[in-house]
Chains A and B, each alone.
Chain A
Amino acid sequence: MGYEHILVAVEAPVATITLNRPRVLNALNPELMREVNEALRTLESDESVRACVLTGGPKVFAAGADIADMAERTAAEQLARDQVGRWAGISAFTKPLIAAVNGYALGGGCELALMCDMIVAGDNARFGQPEINLGIIPGAGGTQRWPRTAGKFAAMEAMLSGAPITARRAMALGLVNKVVPSEMSIKVAQRLARQLSEKPPLALRFAKEAVLKAFETPMSEGLAAERRSFYFLFSTEDQKEGMRAFMEKRKGVFRGR
């Protein structure tokens, strides 16, 4: 599985996907996104992998989509290509996905980070949706995910002004989990992924699913779904092991069954 635009490193139980188009600041073209989706599909079925880190490397996460590639396209062409619709593979990934963001995460790059489950930001990170300056709006979830995390007013400011925000501001808005020195962000994200890898995989999966459901459904429906998953988990070996380990004052060893 050779990739052209990304690097995939599996150090079980953690996989790291690195966007790798440094010459264009990791601009997200359709091929790169296809590869990210494909990599995630592969990692989804790889049982040795329990969590994944997505990063753009030490300098930049992704400075948006490939503008040169879009500039002269018509609406019909864009619709037919449905570039952003193909990002669905990312939300279909059921294991923890942690973004390590250094430098610019702009436009599609920012939206890609917001699709992850957690974000570790380098202190040089900048998040923004500059689409407005090009006569368009975010097209990969920006207008929906920003208000759900940062609230309406910060979201409006970001969407309408196009001005990026600093890592510190993103932290204050609850848009990221942690701000660390930029040279450490990938390591910190990988460490976090490793910690999550020791948790029971099925419980992780249902926890993730339940939290994501909170953005999609009315409360009553979300609560019902949560309860179903809660009861279901009592049918797993990991639940038996987890509770036994707790009572025996030892650390549980989970196998995803």
Chain B
Amino acid sequence: MATEVEQHVKVENEGGVGWIRLNRPEKMNAIGALTRKQLAEAIKQAERDDSVRVVVLTGSGRAFSSGADVTEMSNDGGMHTPEEVGNILRDEYMPMLVRLRTMPKPVIAAMNGPAVGIGASYALACDIRVATPEAYLMEAFVNIGLAPDGGVSWLLPRLAGTGVAYEMFFSGKPLAAADAHRLGVINRLVPAERLEEEVRDLANQLAAQPPQAMAAAKRAVNNALNSTYEEAMEFESYLQEAQAGSQEFVDGVQAFLARRAKK
């Protein structure tokens, strides 16, 4: 009898917004081999599907994601070898996290609860974070004798500053949503019961913005993070030239003038 493959990741396309939902609530959305495979596929499809204008990444149940599925690492066929650990990071996590950060459309993390370890790496790789007050970010690696991974050594110092990043990496203690919000790591705090609604509103709002202009903004920021001020400005100027020749700009200016004429 063929057993149905477990659905660790649920995908819904809702009027231009692609919802990618980690779907292992009983495991606090821990990420195992099957989760990685399904998540990678979901992220790839979200990027390719032009009808998806905005992507939302969230968890089901109480957690955003508790991180790598440690039980799977130790029960199912024994622990990963060190080399396997490295390979999984390089060959599986890296491509999909890079894809989240660079796909030409906004990606919102709806943090319905804690984001721990590699779970935090996903939340931080998104462009915008909206969280409930019960959520937190936690770099738990040190608690089991590991170093930060999934890109957080790069992301967290930029988002929160090196002091906060180091404290999290060294102590393994959580950064509460309220503190993360104060630091600008989390864009908005929303009560749990209103999280989805609020994220949906934000996503719908962004889905109505000119997609090419948003893609250009994302390209500019990603380029700038690897450049000098002058290089970033030059790259911007070329992006702007391309954008100034687009239909989006023609339409945008027309709509602007029409609005002003009405006033």
Residues on B with beta carbons closer than 8 Å to the beta carbon of A123: 219, 223, 235
Residues in chain B near residue A183, CB distance under 8 A: 242
Is A184 touching B242 in the complex (CB atoms < 8 A)? yes
Whether a CB of chain B sits under 8 angstroms from the CB of A50 is no
**Is A32 an interface residue, CB under 8 A from the partner?**
no
Contacts of B216 in A (CB 8 A): 181
Inside 8 A of A168's CB, which chain B residues have their CB? 226
> Which of chain A's residues have a CB closer than 8 A to the CB of B238?
180-181, 184, 188
State whether A184 touches B226 (Cβ < 8 A). no
Determine whether the beta carbon of A181 is less than 8 Å from that of B226: no
Q: For the complex formed, measure the closest distance between the CB of A183 and the CB atoms of chain B, giving whole angstroms.
A: 5
> In this complex, what residue of B is CB-closest to A185?
B238
Would you give the 0/1 interface string for B200-234, flagging 1 where the beta carbon is closer than 8 Å to chain A? 00000000000000001001000100100000000
- With a cutoff of 8 Å between Cβ atoms, the chain B residues found around residue A179 in the complex are 235
Give the tally of cross-chain contacts (CB within 8 A): 20
Cβ of A188: which chain B residues have Cβ within 8 Å of it?
Answer: 238
CA separation between A184 and B223, bound complex, in Å?
Answer: 15
Q: Quick check: is B178 within 8 A (CB to CB) of the other chain? A: no
Of all chain A residues, the one with the shortest Cβ separation from B216 is A181
Residue among B216, B226, B235 having the largest count of chain A Cβ atoms under 10 Å: B235
Residues of B within 8 A of A184 (CB): 238-239, 241-242
Nearest residue (CB) in B for A188 is B238
Nearest CB of chain A from residue B236's CB, rounded to whole Å: 9
Give Cα A143 to B242, complex, Å: 36
Number of B residues with CB within 8 Å of any CB on chain A:
9
- Please indicate the chain A residues that have their CB under 8 angstroms from the CB of B226 in the complex: 168
Interface residues of A in 164-189 (CB under 8 A from B): 168, 179-181, 183-184, 187-188
List residues of chain A with CB within 8 A of the CB of B241: 184, 187
Closest to A178 in B: B234
Closest to A182 in B: B242
Residue of B with least CB distance to A184 = B238
Contacts of B235 in A (CB 8 A): 123, 179-181
* Closest Cβ–Cβ distance, residue A48 to chain B (whole Å): 27
Residue of B nearest to A168 (CB): B226
Q: CA of A184 to CA of B236 in the docked complex: distance in angstroms?
A: 11
Tell me the bound Cα distance from A181 to B244 in angstroms.
14
CA distance A105 to B248 in the complex (A): 31
Bound complex: CA of A102 vs CA of B239, how far in Å? Answer: 15
Q: How far is the CA of A183 from the CA of B246 in the complex (A)?
A: 12
Nearest residue in B to A183 (C-beta to C-beta)? B242
Complex: chain B residue closest to A180, CB-CB: B238
State the Cβ distance, B224 to closest chain A Cβ, in Å. 12
Q: How far is the CB of A4 from chain B (nearest CB, A)?
A: 31
Specify the chain B residue showing the minimal Cβ separation from A187: B241
CB distance from B189 to the nearest CB of A (A): 36
Shortest CB–CB separation between residue B242 and chain A, in angstroms?
A: 5
Within the complex, what minimum Cβ distance (angstroms) separates A165 from chain B?
15
Q: What 0/1 pattern do residues 48 to 72 of B give for CB contact below 8 A with A?
A: 0000000000000000000000000
Q: Complex Cα distance A175/B241, Å? A: 25
Which B-chain residue is minimally distant from A179 (CB atoms)?
B235
Residues in chain A near residue B239, CB distance under 8 A: 181, 184
Report how far A158 CA is from B198 CA in the complex, Å. Answer: 49
Point out the residues of chain A lying under 8 angstroms from B223, CB to CB: 123
Smallest distance from the beta carbon of B234 to chain A beta carbons, Å? 8
Provide the bound-state CA to CA distance between A168 and B219, in Å. Answer: 14
Q: Which residues of A sit under 8 angstroms from B242, Cβ to Cβ?
A: 181, 183-184
Tell me the complex Cα distance, A168–B235, Å.
Answer: 12
CB distance from B54 to the nearest CB of A (A): 22
Distance in Å: Cβ of B243 to nearest Cβ of chain A: 10
The chain A residue sitting closest to B236, CB to CB, is A181
B240 to chain A, nearest CB (A): 10
Most chain A CB neighbours (cut-off 10 Å) among B216, B223, B238, B242 = B238
State the Cβ distance, B244 to closest chain A Cβ, in Å: 11
Nearest Cβ on chain B to A254's Cβ, whole angstroms: 28
Distance in angstroms between the alpha carbons of A45 and B136 in the assembled complex: 70
Of all A-B residue pairs in the complex, the 3 with the closest CB atoms, nearest first, are: A184-B238, A180-B238, A183-B242
Q: Hey, which bits of chain A sit against chain B, CB under 8 A? A: 123, 168, 179-181, 183-184, 187-188
17 further A-B contacts with Cβ under 8 Å, apart from A123-B223, A179-B235, A188-B238, are: A123-B219, A123-B235, A168-B226, A180-B235, A180-B238, A181-B216, A181-B219, A181-B235, A181-B238, A181-B239, A181-B242, A183-B242, A184-B238, A184-B239, A184-B241, A184-B242, A187-B241
A-B contact pairs, 8 of them (CB 8 A): A123-B219, A123-B223, A123-B235, A181-B216, A183-B242, A184-B238, A184-B241, A188-B238
